[in-house]
Structure 1
């Protein structure tokens, strides 16, 4: 009886959680040839007003998931729900979803205002309502004075703002973005990242964003799903993904990392001792490492490594000497490449601050890091 009640309670909790989700992928799979799966058992719950990014290398399955949500692709298996209703049988134009593409997809023969009016006209809104909504959308992307121009008369950043405004003008509950900033230069791309983030915060619209650019994902997202080979490797907030990667792929795809490879000598559950292939022993946090004798990859962020300058040291569990190979000045910080523990590509990042020791190639220095900052992951 008690077991039955407990099972019923778990089922009720799951039902409540499912009903609170705005959009859901439930065990979704996709194959184009009937043999190879490009998306493998994809599950994701997205809450109303959330900004979720699908991040991964080319061919990892992220864009296919977006196209299935938009209705341009059909799942081979599984279900996609919007507002707790299955939508796999609905054509794209009946899903009420805004879409922003990398190539803008603006009508070149129409003015900016006419481009924005088009999705409202096909929904048979009145002329006055169309005029009001177009003006509001132009103000939203700060292009109030550009309504009479054609796309060819705009810069790339302005065209992308128009594409974003067109996706938002009919006030959809969900907006999908497929690599929308890929054609912009670095400065424009960064500017548009903050612009999209501002619009998302002001409107509270739900957004699903696809990119292979980790900086975009970290800058804008509430949560990020990291894809590789059709499988989500980790789903978490930007901070968690960067600070607490669960496997080697996530660690090396998100941000820069020092990679040290070796064999586990001892594993206590929280900490492990690893003998590197170069012979040194490192104390690390046991995340996805096995027991004694198993191979592991250590992940260590460059900014977590300190240069040690004499004196008593109790903060660094791992201390090694390294030879300076290269020093690159990057304005706010220095990027120094060392030979440490047999690795010629060991990187440290140090702030460009007064009193910091000047380093020169060929110099030998001592570096150190805490065991908690060094994560022992899968081999």
Structure 2
């Protein structure tokens, strides 16, 4: 798969002292859906704005289809953009909003009509061509914004928190629709969000940002199953984090960790585990076994049930385990789980491969 965008040693500072983006090297593949994910202030939106041309890199170079674009203005980059606030012209109809970027490009009237019709069809808004934006719901306005970004058939589409203003149900529906449009069109999409579930649902790859640096770039499943550091483990999904010290290393795959409370556990070794020293162990709540079945696990401890929270499809159990009072276990809502009571003392276990030691 060829590369469509390259960031080469890109830096960005607004005050000349503090780097918002630090030595970014990133290649985006043609046709992929890549998400820049991270907390507020992590540098993800700044990267998107530099790619769009609304911000200028302080250092380094950005290439689009192998051509440097640092000095090319936004309107000449052939990039579609979808914003959170839709940015539709309120005095123009839906069709006129879509026609605007085509008129700017001086296309013929019949070609404009054909492209507008095709773009509206892609987002199932054919019947709303003559409506004004104020007559549409939030979800419909967002579909129009997506259609406008697609209408001139750009090389690349950028989306900056496009679903942030929608309610949960509509947001999930739009996630599916945007992903479907991506798959059907073959476009390259670069998407920015701070919502990890949104990123996991939609992306081919995710670049996890923190403090202006990509902490890990990988598929959703690899980020979840094999985080490379403690930040990624905390930020992607939910995780119990146990602090301790590496006591032994068994090749490149396994290690022993002595927890701060004195307990010993076996864990898979993250890529940063190369020597003895402080470490944190990441353990997903759904990988934990409770009751008699826990005895067959590599790591077995006694746990006290402190709270039970009913979520419908699963029970969230707050336990006291290994000196932690906020140890979380997720259990399927079956007969065995429903027998637990607050105050119970039970076996708690997990396999070594279910937890990951990170430094």
Q: Is 1:360 the equivalent of 2:329? A: no
1:355, distance to aligned residue in structure 2 (A): 4.8
Partner SS for 2:124: coil
* Residues 310 and 316 in structure 2, CA contact (< 8 A), matched pair in contact too: yes
In the alignment, is the contact (CA less than 8 A) between 1:264 and 1:290 conserved in 2? Answer: no
What is the CA deviation profile of residues 99-144 of structure 1, one whole-angstrom value per residue up to 9, with x for unaligned ones? 0001100001111111011011111111111111111111111111
1:291 Cα deviation (Å)? 2.9
Please show how residues 110-259 of structure 1 align to structure 2 within 5 Å: 110-259=92-241
Q: What is the DSSP-based 3-state SS (H/G/I as helix, E as strand, rest coil) of the residue aligned with 1:54?
A: strand
- Unpaired runs of at least 5, structure 2: none
Which of the residues 321, 329, 338 maps onto 1:340? 321
What secondary structure does 1:235 align onto?
A: strand
Cα distance in 2 for residues equivalent to 1:360 and 1:196: 43
**More deviation in 174-183 or 267-276?**
267-276
Provide Cα deviations, 1:157-209, integer angstroms capped at 9, x if missing partner. Answer: 11110100000011111000000011111111100000000000000000000
Contact 1:289–1:295 under 8 Å retained in 2:
no
Q: Shift in Å at residue 358 of structure 1? A: 1.8
Cα distance, 1:290 vs structure 2 = 4.9
Mapped partners of 2:341, 2:155: distance in 1? 56
Identify the residue that residue 271 of structure 1 maps to in structure 2. 254
Q: Does 1:48 align with 2:30?
A: yes
Q: Give 4+ residue runs of structure 1 displaced > 2 Å after superposition.
A: 288-292, 353-357
Match of 2:266 in 1: 283
CA contact (8 A) 2:315 2:337 kept: no
Q: Does 1:297 align with 2:273?
A: no
Determine if contact 1:317/1:370 at 8 Å carries over to the other structure.
Answer: yes
Pairwise CA RMSD of aligned residues?
1.3
Number of corresponding residues: 357
Within 5 Å, give how 1:53-72 maps onto structure 2. 53-72=35-54
TM-score by length of 1: 0.92
Partner deviation per Cα, 1:226-256 (whole Å, 9 max, x = no partner)? 0000000000000000000000000000000
**In structure 2, C-alpha distance between the alignment counterparts of 1:356 and 1:249, rounded to whole Å:** 31
CA distance in 2, matches of 1:308, 1:275: 24
Structure 1 residue 268: deviation in Å? 2.2
Query: C-alpha separation between the residues in 2 aligned to 1:47 and 1:278?
Result: 46
Instruction: Give the Cα separation in 1 of the matches to 2:202 and 2:269.
Output: 30
CA distance in 2 between partners of 1:35 and 1:121 (Å): 42
Q: Which residue matches 1:376?
A: 357
TM-score by length of 2: 0.97
Question: Which residue of the partner structure matches residue 3 of structure 2?
Answer: 21
2:18 is aligned, of 23, 36, 44, to 36
Deviation of 1:308 after TM superposition, in Å, equals 2.8
SS in structure 2 opposite 1:278? coil
Supply the distance in 2 between the matched residues of 1:119 and 1:371 (Cα, whole angstroms).
56
Aligned equivalents of 2:155, 2:135: Cα separation in 1: 31
